[in-house]
Amino acid sequence: MTGAKALSGQCLCGAVTVTMEARQPELHACHCDMCRRWTGSAFLEIDAAPGTIKAMGPVKVFTSSDWAERAHCDTCGTPLWYHLTVPGTDHYSVSAGLFDNLGGFALTKEIYVDQKPKGFAYAGDHLRQTKAEFMATIAPQIAGEEK
């Protein structure tokens, strides 16, 4: 691994183990409709440094959009990651719940805040982006214009 914080975790039943390096020592939350349906709440995730994610065990992958897939443990159903599948990218948003103490990271960003349920309120001073604001930041990747 390249020197970033190395993380090791597992799903609820322990059948899938995941190792990776964090791209940055930070935690993100996604409130989009798909993530809430997938996890039952906001998807709390840690971005993996490119080329560092490794998983062992019964991983099941589901294509959830034209540019992304989601993975879960095929035994217990624990969400594992969201993967941007655009050619030339290597982006994995890995479920923070796989790691003890959510990797020990602080929340630095929430996305799709315009879809967040009214009862959700994460404390702290961090970046909050609407769907339109967030999609504008990844539009070049989805279009295959940027690595």
The pLDDT assigned to 1 comes to 43
52 within domain boundaries: yes
CA distance 128 to 88: 27
Judged by average pLDDT, the poorest of 56-60, 64-68, 69-73 is: 64-68
81 within domain boundaries: yes
Half-sphere exposure of residue 111, counting CA atoms within 13 Å on the CB side? 19
The pLDDT assigned to 80 comes to 98
69 is in which domain, residue-wise?
Answer: 6-142
pTM for the model stands at: 0.90
134 within domain boundaries: yes
63 within domain boundaries: yes
The pLDDT assigned to 140 comes to 73
147 within domain boundaries: no
pLDDT in tens, 2-61: 456 899 999 999 999 999 999 999 999 999 999 999 999 999 999 999 999 999 999 999
Closest listed residue to residue 122, CA positions, set 30, 51, 4: 30
pLDDT in tens, 77-87: 999 999 999 88
Q: Report the CATH number that the domain containing residue 74 is assigned in CATH.
A: 2.170.150.70
1 within domain boundaries: no
Q: Tell me the average pLDDT across 132-144.
A: 81
The pLDDT assigned to 137 comes to 86
Domain count, the chain: 1
Q: Tell me the average pLDDT across 109-115.
A: 96
Residue 145's pLDDT band (boundaries 50, 70, 90)?
low
Phi, psi of 48 (to 5 degrees): -80, 140
Residue 91 has pLDDT above 60, yes or no: yes
3-state secondary structure of 85: coil
pLDDT in tens, 117-128: 998 899 999 999
109 within domain boundaries: yes
The pLDDT assigned to 144 comes to 63
